[in-house]
């Protein structure tokens, strides 16, 4: 049981989970506040994904790679609808 908790509480897993859910936290919050008409905007861009990965890599390089993979996994899982990967350069 303790070994399982140690694996679940690893910082790498927290970075992966945070970077995976961050695009929805950003965009859905802005949508609820009425800033955007859709729930997929700034947070669902490649720029935001790379920016988050860069921020994590300042702490530790492996965290940046994990954040990049987490963010890209989220973007690829959202391909069923419109994902503005290159926003604001392409609408």
Cα 48 to its chain centre, rounded Å, is 8
pLDDT lower than 70: segments of the chain:
1-9, 80-91
pTM: 0.77
Q: What is the pLDDT of residues 1-21, one digit of tens each?
A: 566 666 666 888 889 999 999
Residue 21 near residue 73 (C-beta atoms within 8 A): no
Residue 75 near residue 46 (C-beta atoms within 8 A): yes
- pLDDT at position 60 is 92
- pLDDT at position 82 is 65
- pLDDT at position 56 is 95
- pLDDT at position 3 is 65
């Amino acid at each position: 049981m303790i070994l399982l908790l140690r694996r679940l509480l690893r910082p790498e897993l927290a970075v992966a989970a945070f970077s995976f859910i961050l695009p929805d936290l950003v965009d859905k919050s802005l949508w609820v506040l009425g800033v955007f008409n859709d729930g997929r905007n700034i947070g669902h861009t490649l720029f935001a994904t790379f920016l988050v990965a860069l921020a994590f890599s300042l702490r530790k390089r492996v965290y940046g790679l994990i954040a990049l993979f987490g963010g890209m996994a989220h973007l690829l899982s959202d391909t069923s609808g419109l994902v503005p990967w290159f926003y604001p350069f392409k609408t």
